[in-house]
């Protein structure tokens, strides 16, 4: 049975210069990233293997939505049925989603910050993939989606297409332009920095 243990630490950031008319939820400072590399990047072999991957120092007041802070505020599904949240690792046939506080990713890289562990529906379930649909959110000018995408260590059956999509008020679904990444397990260690500018969605309320 193929199991894709896929991890991400992901947040939506306000531009520091952008004022929001909505209240910004109180966040754990370690979840707020100040900057990411401008393009998708991979760790080089031996660069941080066996050590802690320290994400950038946070700036208070810049997080609009932390995907890992309240994972069960999202509706999780597998293209056929809704999934319980938090999930049960003893029963992952239909898929799984839950928060982690710390984790080891491929190549024995340690992340000591919260994120999401997702497992898509398994072969034989009749379904595929995994989707998380968060509550409505109004995008502001300057907002970015930022995430670290990786496979769990010791789970080599991880070949994942990850995309950031949104649902319009009329229930149509669209992919955010440029927001699709492919992750293949790499025992030598690798992870993807995802950083997408959401200005094309500014002013829209989406999920």
Query: Is the pLDDT at 163 greater than 90, yes or no?
Result: yes
Rounded mean pLDDT, 29-36: 38
- Rounded Cα distance between 192 and 40, Å, is 6
Beta bridge mates, 8? 116, 149
Query: Is the pLDDT at 74 greater than 90, yes or no?
Result: yes
Beta bridge mates, 76? 132
pTM of the model: 0.76
What share of the chain in percent tops pLDDT 90? 40
Ranges 80-84, 130-134, 139-143, 146-150: which has the least confidence: 146-150
Residue 206 has a pLDDT of 93
Rounded mean pLDDT, 104-130: 89
- Rounded Cα distance between 120 and 127, Å, is 9
Q: How confident is the model at residue 18 (pLDDT cuts 50, 70, 90)?
A: very low
Kindly provide the residue ranges of all beta strands, DSSP E only, lying in 54-143, ordered along the sequence: 63-66, 75-77, 96-100, 103-105, 109-111, 115-119, 131-133, 137-138
Residue 13 has a pLDDT of 55
**Which of the listed ranges 45-49, 107-111, 126-130 does the model predict with the highest average pLDDT?**
126-130
Kindly report the number of other CB atoms within 10 A of residue 15's CB atom.
Answer: 17
């Amino acid at each position: 049975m193929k199991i894709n243990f896929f991890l991400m630490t992901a947040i939506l950031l306000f531009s520091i210069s952008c004022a929001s008319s909505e209240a910004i939820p109180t966040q754990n400072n370690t979840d707020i990233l100040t900057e990411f590399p401008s393009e998708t990047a991979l760790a080089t072999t031996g660069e941080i293997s066996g050590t802690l991957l320290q994400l950038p120092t946070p700036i208070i007041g810049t997080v609009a939505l932390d995907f890992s802070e309240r994972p069960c505020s999202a509706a999780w599904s597998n293209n056929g049925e809704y999934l319980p949240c938090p999930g049960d690792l003893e029963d992952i046939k239909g898929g799984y989603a839950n928060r982690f506080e710390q984790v080891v990713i491929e190549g024995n890289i340690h992340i000591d910050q919260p994120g999401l562990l997702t497992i898509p529906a398994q072969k034989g379930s009749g379904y595929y993939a995994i989707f998380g649909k968060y509550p409505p959110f109004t995008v502001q000018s300057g907002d970015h989606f930022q995430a670290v995408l990786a496979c769990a260590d010791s789970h080599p059956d991880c070949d994942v297409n990850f995309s950031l999509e949104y649902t319009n008020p009329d229930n149509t679904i669209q992919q955010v332009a440029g927001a699709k990444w492919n992750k293949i397990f790499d025992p030598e260690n690798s992870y993807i920095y995802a950083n997408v500018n959401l200005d094309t969605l500014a002013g829209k309320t989406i999920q």
